Structure 1
Amino acid sequence: MSIGVAIIGSGNFAKEQHLPAVQATPDLALKAIYSRSLKSARDLASGAPNCDLYSDDSGHGKTYEDLLARSDIGAVIIGLPILVQPGFIKKALFAGKHVLSEKPIAKDVIAARELLQWYQTTCDVHHRIWAVGENFRYMTKFLFAAEKVHAMGKVRRFRVNVQSLVQQDNRYYLTPWRKSPGYQGGFLLDGGVHMLAGLRMILGPNDRVTAVSAQTRQLQEYLPPIDTVDAVAQTELGATGTISLSWGSRYNDSLFEFECEKGMVKIQFDDVMVNDEVHHIEFDGKGVVPEVKEFAESILRGGPVVNRQSPEEALADLSLLEQMLKSGEKNGDRMMLHFQVKE
């Protein structure tokens, strides 16, 4: 029997990823869509006939609370602006729904810890699932690279170099809440947690990042408050590395490189190089389809949530980024890491 699900939010990611992923998951049946406006809900629903629409301007009986009152909806997938999303997560969990929410878990570590503590003390965490989506943990090239790194012994050095320029006509930049972010880091928070999730997965839970020192800068005046961070990091087992992220740079690169005891592994765009052997990983999606499928499977087996969707993993991603940003604010002071998940 399929699980009735609602999509909460109708932005670019819902159109391009959430809706197709739900439709590709036999264990889920789309029952409803909620958005702030009926117009945007209808826009998403153009690709999903026969589902009910809810919005703030739809009048009596069509609010978010009305959607949550439906007994035929067992789960919601929430992709809303960073600042408002925690309130929607709480309401859904309180109403007894399973939740898959988009990263980041919250705007900062304080807010994330408060939300996680509320969940752990208020809900039956084994039977009311709260998963946080991080599709990089499902992308084939990162999974392949992680497997190769883990087979090559201890990591000695690493570097992450992700550089691009968000143009002012970029469809994600044109989202009003991204143009004027009320949260730390701007695009660094929104996009940076992806890169750090990929790094953390490849390093593995037994070699956690323990300290960072960083410099930050705003290269483009239309990308407040900052768009670039360059950090030096150290792991629990003694590896050192650099993490350079920018959404305001005219450089164009996507590099994850690991020097291990038994060799080298490098991801560059869609190629994974293992020592001198190049493996081209054909792009097979952004990982949202298997992510949503695994969320549904967790519900059907009665929980708990799988580790790579756990709020604790999402908190670890956020904590690493936040300490990089705080180090930048303190002109490179060494910051110790907390809330890193260990096996």
Structure 2
Amino acid sequence: MAIGVAIIGSGNFAKEQHLPAVKAATDLQLKAIYSRSLKSAQTLANGTSDVDLYSDDSGTGNSYDDLLARPDIGALLIGLPILNQPEFIKKALLAGKHVLSEKPIAKDVATARELLHWYQTSIDSSKVIWAVGENFRYMTKFLFAAEKVREMGRVRHFRVNVHSLVKQDNKYFLTFWRKIPEYQGGFLLDGGVHMVAGLRLILGSTDHMIAVSAQTQQLKDYLPPVDTADAVVSTASGATGVISLSWGSDFNDNVFEFACEKGVVTLCFDSVTVNGVEHHIEFDGKGVGPEVAEFATSIIKGGSVAKRQSPEEALADLEVLEQMLQSGEKKGDRVMLRFQI
């Protein structure tokens, strides 16, 4: 029997990824949509039948709490503004609903650790699971690159160059909470955790990053507080690497490159090159479909959440990005990483 699920939040990502992923998941049945306004909930639900709508302006009986009280809804996909997520996650878990919340896990490491500690001490995780979405861990090109790096032996050196320009007519920039961010890093936080997750996936848990030193700056005055970070990092095995991220750059790069014991592996946009031999990876989606399907499988099987959806993995992603930002504030001071797994 399919699990009743509700989508919480009706932004761009819900429209483009969450809704199609739920519809494609054989183990899930969409029962409800919640959004701050009824209009936005209606927009997301357009063309979808037998879905109940909840919002803050829908009157008595149609609030988020009312949705949580429904026994036919067992799971939630929560994709709200970064600052709003923790409150909604806690309420859902206390109501006995399984949760897949969007990255980043929280606005900063302190908030994430507090939320994780609360979950571990207040919720029976064998009965109610909390997963944190990171679709890059499901994208074919990153999985393929990670496989090839393993085949090439220990990583000795690496570099990540991801540069683009978020223009003022960009649909994500036009989201108010992103346009005027009340959290560290702005687009560097929102988009940068994806890149950190991709890098961590390819490096693997046996050679995690241990230290970072970075410089940060704001190239575009409409992308506060900073839009660019350039970092030097080191790993447990002694490998060194460079992470250069910018959403305010005139460059257009998306390159992850690894010099290993047996050769070089390069992921450049949708191609993976291994010792000069190029493998084009046909785009098969952004990974949200298999991510949501695995969340449903975890609920059905019971027990712990899949490791790549664990809050601990999301905390590790956030820590790297946060320490890059904090090192930049300290003019490049070397900062140790504590929560890598």
Give the TM-score category using the shorter length: over 0.9
Residue of structure 2 equivalent to 1:155? 155
Q: Output the CA distance in 2 between the equivalents of 1:91 and 1:180.
A: 26
Query: Letter of the aligned partner of 1:239 in structure 2?
Result: A
Residue of structure 2 equivalent to 1:137? 137
Q: Output the CA distance in 2 between the equivalents of 1:181 and 1:127.
A: 35
Residue of structure 2 equivalent to 1:31? 31
Residue of structure 2 equivalent to 1:318? 318
Residue of structure 1 equivalent to 2:198? 198
Query: Letter of the aligned partner of 2:278 in structure 1?
Result: V
Q: Per-residue deviation at 1:50?
A: 1.2
1:124 aligns with 2:89: no
Partner of 1:5: helix, strand, or coil? Answer: strand
Residue of structure 2 equivalent to 1:102? 102
Residue of structure 2 equivalent to 1:50? 50
Residue of structure 1 equivalent to 2:329? 329
Residue of structure 2 equivalent to 1:7? 7
Residue of structure 2 equivalent to 1:273? 273
Residue of structure 1 equivalent to 2:309? 309
Q: Output the CA distance in 2 between the equivalents of 1:149 and 1:246.
A: 25
Question: What whole-Å deviation, never above 9, does each CA across 1:55-102 have from its counterpart, x for those lacking one?
Answer: 000000000000000000000000000001110000000000000000
Partner of 1:265: helix, strand, or coil? Answer: strand
Question: What whole-Å deviation, never above 9, does each CA across 1:35-54 have from its counterpart, x for those lacking one?
Answer: 00000000000032210000
Tell me how many residue pairs correspond in the alignment.
341
Q: RMSD between aligned alpha carbons? A: 0.5
- Contact 1:319-1:337 within 8 A present in 2 as well: yes
Partner of 2:17: helix, strand, or coil? Answer: helix
Residue of structure 1 equivalent to 2:223? 223
Once the two structures are superposed, the pairs formed by residues 188-267 of structure 1 within 5 Å of their partners are 188-267=188-267
Q: Output the CA distance in 1 between the equivalents of 2:320 and 2:2.
A: 37
- Unaligned 5+ segments in structure 1 are none
Q: Per-residue deviation at 1:147?
A: 0.5
Query: Letter of the aligned partner of 2:204 in structure 1?
Result: G
Question: What whole-Å deviation, never above 9, does each CA across 1:230-274 have from its counterpart, x for those lacking one?
Answer: 000000001100000000000001000000001110000000001
Seq. identity, %: 74
Q: Output the CA distance in 2 between the equivalents of 1:106 and 1:121.
A: 18
Q: Per-residue deviation at 1:165?
A: 0.1
Q: Per-residue deviation at 1:125?
A: 1.1
- Contact 1:210-1:234 within 8 A present in 2 as well: yes
Residue of structure 2 equivalent to 1:93? 93
Residue of structure 2 equivalent to 1:297? 297
Q: Output the CA distance in 2 between the equivalents of 1:53 and 1:91.
A: 18
Partner of 2:252: helix, strand, or coil? Answer: strand
Q: Per-residue deviation at 1:276?
A: 1.2
- Contact 1:126-1:305 within 8 A present in 2 as well: no
Query: Letter of the aligned partner of 2:264 in structure 1?
Result: M
1:83 aligns with 2:83: yes
Partner of 1:215: helix, strand, or coil? Answer: strand
Q: Output the CA distance in 2 between the equivalents of 1:42 and 1:229.
A: 39
Partner of 1:308: helix, strand, or coil? Answer: helix
Partner of 1:177: helix, strand, or coil? Answer: helix
Question: What whole-Å deviation, never above 9, does each CA across 1:301-336 have from its counterpart, x for those lacking one?
Answer: 013100000000000000010010000000000000
Residue of structure 2 equivalent to 1:69? 69
- The two structures have a TM-score, normalised by structure 1, of 0.99
Query: Letter of the aligned partner of 1:23 in structure 2?
Result: K
Residue of structure 2 equivalent to 1:167? 167
Q: Per-residue deviation at 1:148?
A: 0.6
Query: Letter of the aligned partner of 1:169 in structure 2?
Result: D
Query: Letter of the aligned partner of 1:236 in structure 2?
Result: A
Q: Per-residue deviation at 1:170?
A: 0.2
Partner of 1:230: helix, strand, or coil? Answer: strand
Partner of 1:26: helix, strand, or coil? Answer: coil
Residue of structure 2 equivalent to 1:186? 186
Partner of 2:212: helix, strand, or coil? Answer: strand
- Unaligned 5+ segments in structure 2 are none
Query: Letter of the aligned partner of 1:100 in structure 2?
Result: L
- The two structures have a TM-score, normalised by structure 2, of 1.00
Partner of 1:213: helix, strand, or coil? Answer: strand
Q: Output the CA distance in 1 between the equivalents of 2:55 and 2:174.
A: 22
Q: Output the CA distance in 2 between the equivalents of 1:185 and 1:274.
A: 34
Residue of structure 2 equivalent to 1:20? 20
Q: Output the CA distance in 1 between the equivalents of 2:17 and 2:185.
A: 24
Q: Output the CA distance in 2 between the equivalents of 1:43 and 1:144.
A: 37
Query: Letter of the aligned partner of 1:70 in structure 2?
Result: R
Q: Output the CA distance in 2 between the equivalents of 1:247 and 1:49.
A: 38
Partner of 1:49: helix, strand, or coil? Answer: coil
